[in-house]
Amino acid sequence: MFDALATFVAVASEGSFSKVAKRDRVAVSSVTRRITWLESELGAKLLRRSSRHVMLTDAGEQFLPRARAILAEMSEAKERLNALDAEPRGLLTVTVPAAFGRRFVVPAVIEFLHRYPLLQLDLHVSDQVVDLTARRIDVAIRMGSSPHGDLIATRLAPLRRLVCASPAYLERRGRPAAPQDLLQHNCLTVASGPPPPDWWRFAGVNRNAALPVRGSLRTDDVDTLLQAAVAGVGIVHLASWLVSDMVAAGRLVSLFPEARAPEVGSLAIHAVRLPGRSHDAKAKLFVAHLRNAFGDPPYWERSLRTPQR
Domains and CATH numbers, the chain: 2-84 (1.10.10.10), 87-159+267-296 (3.40.190.10), 161-254 (3.40.190.10)
Distance from C-alpha of 125 to C-alpha of 129, rounded to nearest angstrom = 11
Distance from C-alpha of 213 to C-alpha of 211, rounded to nearest angstrom = 6
Residue-level pLDDT at 164: 97
Beta strands 152-158 and 268-273 are antiparallel
Distance from C-alpha of 43 to C-alpha of 180, rounded to nearest angstrom = 71
Residue-level pLDDT at 98: 92
Single-letter residue type at 100: F
- Which of the 8 DSSP states describes residue 169? H
Residue-level pLDDT at 83: 57
Q: What is the pLDDT along the chain (309 residues), one digit of tens a residue?
A: 778 888 888 888 888 888 888 888 888 888 888 888 888 888 888 888 876 678 888 888 888 888 888 877 777 666 666 555 567 888 899 999 999 999 999 999 999 999 999 999 999 998 888 877 777 889 999 988 877 777 889 999 988 899 999 999 999 999 999 999 999 999 999 887 677 778 899 988 999 899 999 999 999 889 999 999 999 999 999 999 999 999 999 999 999 988 888 775 568 999 998 876 667 888 999 999 999 999 988 999 887 765 444
SS3 state at 153: strand
Per the CB < 8 A criterion, the answer to whether 245 and 219 are in contact is: no
Residue-level pLDDT at 307: 46
pTM of the model: 0.67
Distance from C-alpha of 299 to C-alpha of 302, rounded to nearest angstrom = 5
- Which of the 8 DSSP states describes residue 21? H
Phi/psi zone of residue 279: left (φ > 0), alpha (ψ -120 to 50 degrees), beta?
Answer: alpha
Residue-level pLDDT at 309: 42
According to DSSP, the residues that pair with 72 across neighbouring strands are: none
Beta strands 218-219 and 139-144 are unpaired
Per the CB < 8 A criterion, the answer to whether 193 and 220 are in contact is: yes
Which is nearest to 121 in space by CA: 108, 131, 132?
Answer: 108
Residue-level pLDDT at 79: 66
